[in-house]
Amino acid sequence: MPSQNLFGRYGIQRFDAAPKGLQTDGQLTSMEERDAEILGRQNTTKIFLRELKYRDSNDEIEYMLGIMYEEMSNSFPDPFENHLPKLPPSPPCSYEIRDIHSKGKGVVALRDIAMGEIIMMERPIFFYPMMTFAELQERIFNDLVAKMQPRTRERFLSLSNVKDSTVPHLLGIQATNSMEMPLKEGAERYGGVFLDISRINHSCGPNTTRQWNRYLFVTIVQASRNIRAGEEITTWYEPVNKSHADRRFDLERKYKFKCTCGYCTNTSTTSDYDRAYYTNEDAIVDLEYRYLSITLAGLKVQNNSRQKAAQDFLQHLIRGLVILTKEGIEGIFAQVYYVYLMQVYGLRGDKTKLREWGFKAILMYIGSPYWSGEKIEQWIDWMRDPEKNFPYWAMLLDRVKRQ
Ligand SMILES: [Zn+2]
């Protein structure tokens, strides 16, 4: 596929399809189909425990435990027809887990890490449906921990537990460390525990993105800006577009700490408004309308009003990006702005800038919830030959020349 090569040329790995080669070269490990064990029932639905086996990137056998509703168990895991691919080679190690003053353990960069670098790519040690009856949960987790490989169990038991002592200890560890991992579109919500990713502490302006990839069955942590050697690597536990007070309240309630990140201790008066405004769905939809109002206006619209709309749009995008960056949340929300900047520069016939923003858009797409693989193929086509492939190429420029 040509686009694969193009990705290679840009030094970017693709993660939006199961790597096909794995199925033919014998590297696939078939899922251990031990009689799935029925753990219990929720209403009329059976809940199963399945043990999944795969090879890690060093070719060693690894185990994962999955608690699944019957329906998920029958079709699991969707893209692999009962197989999990060997784990792809892990990115070169760039971090270590160590004690952080007043925060327990945390993850620290061992070297400078560039924006876009993948820091972790990790499979969960177990996953489970997030909505199970409380009385079932405790028994399920006891069974689960009993089935873990000894070295995995040891690491699981060393994870932190912030829940109070009325919560059974294993459930406390699970609740403290679990992260959402959507197994299938439209299915119930599933969560998982990841040994290394769980160690990353929260910041309201995190320096990484974190995205579950169901094709590779991994969560990918990617640097959303340049990180210096010695700097702490951070993620988010609560949505960072909530207000300052709500974030702090929820972090304290759920994770028992007062957030002391720079965005909480040095909050600007416009921070709450800015975070809500530039990340809200309507504001994202508005970007598309603004773009369409320039490109689809047709000849009826005065050229100078088109020029003005484009100029306003450009300023709006830059302002959004500056604010997202100031708030430290550009990794999670700015990618859509990169995409429109690429397009506006296409309208202006600026090849260099189209490619610059397009490159950022592609670089950060792993962590973005907005785009699919097809879109990315299209951007690559635009970047390769904008004159030929970008619709409305230099539309604004042509008009200026004609005046
Ligand atoms: Zn904070």
What CATH number is attached to the domain comprising 153?
2.170.270.10
Least confident of 12-16, 19-23, 367-371, 392-396: 19-23
CA of 257 to the centre of ligand 1 (A): 10
Residue 8 CA, ligand 1 centroid: distance in Å:
37
**Co-location of 15 and 97 in the same domain:** yes
Q: What is the chain's length?
A: 403
Q: Same domain for 65 and 203?
A: yes
CA of 341 to the centre of ligand 1 (A): 29
Residues 177 and 295 in one domain: no
pLDDT of residue 371: 65
CA distance 257 to 304: 54
Q: What b/e sequence results for 228-261 when a residue is b if at least 16 CB atoms lie within 10 Å of its CB, and e otherwise?
A: eeeebbbbbbbebbbebeebbeebeeebebebeb
Of 191, 215, 236, the last residue of a domain is 236
C-alpha pair distances (Å), 235 with each of 19, 97, 128, 199, 336? 27, 14, 22, 10, 20
Burial class, 282, CB count within 10 angstroms (exposed 0-12 / middle 13-18 / buried 19+):
exposed
Quote the tokens at residue 38. 């029925």
pLDDT tens, position by position, 201-257: 999 999 999 988 877 888 999 999 999 999 999 999 999 999 999 999 999 999 999
Residue type, 204: C
CB atoms within 10 A of CB 219: 21
Phi, psi (rounded to 5 degrees) for 174: -60, -50
Domain check: are 52 and 144 in the same one?
A: yes
Domain-located, residue 266: no
The answer to the question of residue 10 being in a domain is yes
Nearest to 120 by CA among 153, 155, 92: 92
Instruction: Report pLDDT digits (tens) over 124-145.
Output: 999 888 876 666 777 778 888 8
In a domain, 190, yes or no: yes
92 close to 121: Cβ distance less than 8 angstroms: no
User: Is residue 83 located within the same domain as residue 166?
Assistant: yes
On whether both 175 and 105 belong to a single domain, the answer is yes
Cα separation, 157 vs 22, in Å, equals: 33
Instruction: Identify the H or E element spanning 258.
Output: none
Ligand 1 centroid from CA 265, angstroms: 7
Residue 136 inside a domain? The answer is yes
Distance 261 CA to ligand 1 centre (A): 4
Domain boundaries, position 309: 271-402
Evaluate if residue 75 carries a pLDDT over 90.
no
Q: Please tell me the pTM assigned to this model.
A: 0.84
pLDDT of 162 higher than 60: yes
* 199 within domain boundaries: yes
Does residue 15 carry a pLDDT above 70? no
> Is the CB of residue 159 less than 8 Å from the CB of residue 216?
no
31: CA distance to ligand 1 center in Å? Answer: 41
Same domain, residue pair 200 and 302? no
Q: Taking a C-beta distance cutoff of 8 angstroms, is the pair 119, 210 a contact?
A: no
What phi-psi label fits residue 59: left (phi over 0), alpha (psi between -120 and 50 degrees) or beta? left
Same structural domain, 374 and 329: yes
60 and 153: one domain? yes
Maximum C-alpha span of the chain: 77
Residues 6+ apart with CB under 8 A from 154: none
Within 10 A of 7 (CB to CB), how many other CB atoms are there? 17
Same domain, 210 and 332: no
Cis amide leading into 77 (omega within 30): yes
127 within domain boundaries:
yes
Three-class SS state of 278? helix
Q: Is 122 helix (H, G, I), strand (E, B) or coil?
A: strand
Final residue in a domain of this structure, among 213, 236, 259: 236
Q: Which of 236, 261, 296 is the last residue of a domain?
A: 236
Number of domains the chain is built from: 2
CA 262 – ligand 1 centroid, Å: 7
**For residue 337, pLDDT beyond 70:** yes
In a domain, 216, yes or no: yes
What per-residue confidence (pLDDT) applies to 197? 96
Query: How many whole angstroms separate alpha carbon 199 and alpha carbon 186?
Result: 29
* Residue 52 pLDDT grade (very low, low, confident, very high; cuts 50, 70, 90): confident
**Helix axes 150-157 and 134-147, enclosed angle (nearest 10):** 130
Residue 244 Cα to ligand 1 midpoint, Å, equals 7
Residue 247 lies in a domain: no
Provide the terminal-to-terminal Cα distance of the chain, rounded to the nearest Å: 43
**Same domain assignment for residues 158 and 26:** yes
Where do the H-state alpha helices sit in 266-302?
271-279, 281-295
Same domain for 190 and 299, yes or no, is: no
